Each structure stands twice: as structure tokens, then as C-alpha cells.
Amino acid sequence: MSSYKLKVENNEIINEEGSFFRAAPFTITSEGAEVVCCFKRNEEKHVTYQLIENGTLLAQYVHQDYSPECPPEDLKENLKVSNNKPYPFIAAMVHLGLSHDPIYKALYQGEGAAKYSFEVSQEPLIN
């Protein structure tokens, strides 16, 4: 499996290389903050995407839509990244096809979508 790199500026793909693998850990970087996303089981044995910054679990998004359970206006209170700008991290998950909530998808895709910049990197599981 090859590594994956993605750079998005104001919702435009600047560069994309390799193949993204949903179950492998990946990193989203935006405006100085770096969040690691891991596909794991939680205590209830549900498969989740865990968002971790500096060893601290910020959020766990569960199957079916792997999206925040709060409305977008409450995201800053529910995804406390160090730069206090959580929206690009969810935009990245929507872009990668991981988050499926229609409200968040509408916020980040299509006409009139908010503009966000982020980078995604994923190392191969097997070298």
C-alpha cells in the first residue's frame, strides 16, 4: 500500500497523491493544529473514528455517518482543537468520504460552501 497525501486550499484540491485507505490511521493538519484519526473500537465495541491531538482524545464519531452529533454552530464546543478552528477537520472527513451527515456535507460541499484549507497524510500500513 502506498502513502497518501492531500492538500486542499479554499476547497480546491492543490495536490493529491497515492490511495487513501479508510481503516488506516491518518493525520489532518490545518492552521498549525494536527489531529490524528484512527479507526478503532470503543468500550461498547462499536467501530469509531477517534480524533486525537497531542495524545488527547478530542472526539469519537460512530458508525453510521461518522459525523459530529452536534449542530455545526456548536462544533467549537464539541471538537476542541488547539487552534480553536475545528471546521477544517470535519471538512477533511467529508472530503475523504468518511462523514456522511447531510448537514455537514451541505456545509462543506456544493454551491455556497464555506472555504477551508487542510492537508491529509497517511503512511502505508505495510512497508
Instruction: Name the pTM for this structure.
Output: 0.89
Instruction: Output the pLDDT for position 65.
Output: 80
| Segment 53-98, tens digit of pLDDT | 999 999 988 877 888 988 889 999 999 999 999 999 999 999 999 9
Q: Which helix (H) or strand (E) holds 35?
A: strand 33-41
Q: Where are the domains of the chain?
A: 4-122
